[in-house]
Structure 1
Amino acid sequence: MWNRYRADPFFLIRYSVGSIVLCALIIRFHATIPGVAAIHWGWFAAAALLVLPNFYLQAVAALGFSAVCFGLDTPANRLLLPPLAVSGLFLGCYAAVAIHTASHQAFRPRWVNRIVGEVCGVLLLTGYATFLIPHLAHHRYPDDPLRDPHPPGHLSFPAYLNGMVPTLVACMNRLYADLWAGRDGRYPWLSRITRTLIPLAFLMRVLLLLVLLRPMLFAYLFVPLYIAELMLFAHVNYMTHRPDPAGGFMILDLKDGIFHRVMNAVFLGTYCHRTHHLRPYLLNPSRAAPDDRPMRTYGQVITSRSTNG
């Protein structure tokens, strides 16, 4: 997908249109199934707030949706909230790890990666291609304040978390401009169409999940799942890309401490981030042999390093 994106200015337009049409067709088909009750338009309006442009607004909208659903639900259904929420948190972490792994073609056989990526892309709401492209840019330009889609820099974690979506959008726009602004005279309108279709595809995935899961499962299962996905991505990247006293940035493998040991054991070595950057094709970087090769990130050359959790 990375090569197709770099070779074709219409790639993300086609991908987004395909996602929009497919979601619309599934929603329409679902509405024709006998015995399936219609969902009140108010639930669609509330779920659509997940397209808001930063993490905290999304979290407020999602938790507000869940609170309203809980308040309107029956006492018996309310008892399902704890097990479903815990399951959602666990599945969200696994979905985040799975789409990340698939973006590096690390699953075998290789054709599995596209299937896993597309399914998890719906759960992440971005779609597979719109996750993969900025993620591979992150590997090419780690900690570059202009080309890395989510550089922590010197921000606090709350500020970093809140700025992840705007920074990602700005990076995507810059990548597209670097590729096509000087090469294709259609760039201005291609850029406007792309910037419109990507959020629309995001919205259609939200509505698709609401239709398939219905409001209760959307509130009790998907909302925790979605928040867990975003939190894991943010926390891993923030904790493993840290400023160096020399003025650059260092990428870390976090292996010590109960939290990091459990997360690495359960979620395919997700905090062994330096090893992952050196060998992104590995399914589980926590099982890799030590690698002392220097790796360049923004500002300096990084050598092997591990910290206590």
Structure 2
Amino acid sequence: MTSSQTYLKIKKDPMYLLRVYLIEMVVFALLISILYFVRDLNSVNLSLGLAVLPVALVFGCMVASFIHNASHGNVSNKFINRAVGEFCGTWVLYGFTNFILVHLLHHQYSDDELDPVNPKGMSFLKFLSAPMRYMIVVAKKYLFIQHGQTKNYIFIMNTQTVVFHLNLVLKLTFWYLLFGKTLFLFFYVPAFLSNVAILAHINYVCHRDLEDGTVEMVNLNHNLYYKVANYITFGGYFHKSHHMRLNVFNPMKLAQETLPTHKAAAYNGNFIARYFDLHNIWGEGQKNKV
């Protein structure tokens, strides 16, 4: 099933997400049961943990790239694309189906009320602190628009919300049992956090709030961080190019041929905020001027 077909099923079938969640719950409950009896959890090996930590940070960024490309069907054939998407969806805990919903909403309603990753009015730290919470709130709003706030659908929504959060715990337990203490603490957790951080940063800095109330999408490749991050994520910060050509796996190649990249403005403030372009984009201070 393609991502667009999944998106249409979510829109048309009020029970679709709940069925997906229930299947995931059964699958991961079984996997955990098996691992619980065969897995021998060793004590923490600090030397191994420190050795894999840099790899974990890179891997988390690569997961961000692959789940994003899989949501557009850009990873090889449809079977490999789905397998990659499901693996990455399990890694980030909330699932590939949910990523498809959130990301396609982002493209359909970019920088609007129904964009689940719209950081309007937030500082970066506020946006980074709980991106899943904002995605859930907006996704629920969209689903109620599609299926109505009937008594029956409210019950479905409440049930799938409970199962969704239960699945987060089950998937986290699965990774812990699969990896053991050392790899879970020094590989999975850092990779998960780097994934959250880079997705939040891309969504925050690649859409810029202008004084006239419009929003500009940009490509970023102007310092060492962006050059390295774009290499690891196959052009993750070439966001303007991506929105122009969704079916391109690495939009950096497209941009080098057709689009200029944004250069950092001379922001005031500390070095970190300047270097990572966190000033004068979406912050609450700027929104008060509009």
TM (norm. structure 1) is: 0.79
Distance in structure 1 (CA, Å) of the matches to 2:139 and 2:121: 21
Q: Kindly provide the CA deviation profile for residues 175-224 of structure 1, in whole angstroms up to 9, marking residues without a partner as x.
A: 11011116x65212111111111111111100111111112211111110
Alignment partner of 1:102 out of 62, 70, 73: 70
Shift of 1:290: 6.9
Task: Report the identity percentage.
Answer: 26
CA contact (8 A) 1:103 1:117 kept: yes
Distance in structure 1 (CA, Å) of the matches to 2:211 and 2:257: 23
- Matched residue, 1:308: 263
Distance in structure 2 (CA, Å) of the matches to 1:169 and 1:191: 11
Change (3 A) 1:219 1:289: closer
Matches within 5 A, 1:273-288: 273-288=239-254
Which letter does structure 2 place at the counterpart of 1:148?
D
Distance in structure 2 (CA, Å) of the matches to 1:197 and 1:274: 36
CA contact (8 A) 2:64 2:233 kept: no
- Matched residue, 1:82: 50
Matches within 5 A, 1:103-118: 103-118=71-86
- Matched residue, 1:136: 104
CA contact (8 A) 1:154 1:243 kept: no
Distance in structure 2 (CA, Å) of the matches to 1:31 and 1:254: 45
- Matched residue, 2:144: 177
Tell me how large the CA RMSD over aligned residues is: 2.0
Alignment partner of 2:26 out of 18, 21, 29: 21
Change (3 A) 1:231 1:289: closer
Distance in structure 1 (CA, Å) of the matches to 2:119 and 2:154: 30
- Matched residue, 2:36: 31
Q: Kindly provide the CA deviation profile for residues 129-184 of structure 1, in whole angstroms up to 9, marking residues without a partner as x.
A: 0111111101111111x2111112242211121242221111111011011116x6
| 2:184 counterpart of 1:218 | yes
Distance in structure 2 (CA, Å) of the matches to 1:289 and 1:205: 37
- Matched residue, 1:59: none
Distance in structure 1 (CA, Å) of the matches to 2:101 and 2:260: 27
CA contact (8 A) 2:64 2:198 kept: yes
Which letter does structure 2 place at the counterpart of 1:31?
Y
| 2:87 counterpart of 1:119 | yes
Q: Kindly provide the CA deviation profile for residues 277-299 of structure 1, in whole angstroms up to 9, marking residues without a partner as x.
A: 1111110001115798xxxxxxx
Distance in structure 1 (CA, Å) of the matches to 2:140 and 2:77: 33
Which letter does structure 2 place at the counterpart of 1:17?
L
SS in structure 2 at match of 1:168: helix
Q: Kindly provide the CA deviation profile for residues 44-86 of structure 1, in whole angstroms up to 9, marking residues without a partner as x.
A: xxxxxxxxxxxxxxxxxxxxxxxxx9xx74xxx2112222111
CA contact (8 A) 1:153 1:242 kept: no
Distance in structure 1 (CA, Å) of the matches to 2:128 and 2:261: 24
Matches within 5 A, 1:186-201: 186-201=152-167
Gaps of 5+ in 1: 40-68, 293-303
SS in structure 2 at match of 1:255: coil
CA contact (8 A) 2:49 2:183 kept: no
- Matched residue, 1:235: 201
SS in structure 1 at match of 2:94: coil
Alignment partner of 1:151 out of 100, 103, 118: 118
CA contact (8 A) 2:48 2:182 kept: no
SS in structure 1 at match of 2:52: helix
SS in structure 2 at match of 1:253: coil
| 2:16 counterpart of 1:11 | yes
SS in structure 1 at match of 2:17: helix
Point out 4+ residue stretches in structure 1 off by more than 4 angstroms. 289-292
CA contact (8 A) 1:102 1:114 kept: yes
Q: Kindly provide the CA deviation profile for residues 84-142 of structure 1, in whole angstroms up to 9, marking residues without a partner as x.
A: 11111111111111101100001122221110010011111111101111111011111
| 2:131 counterpart of 1:164 | yes
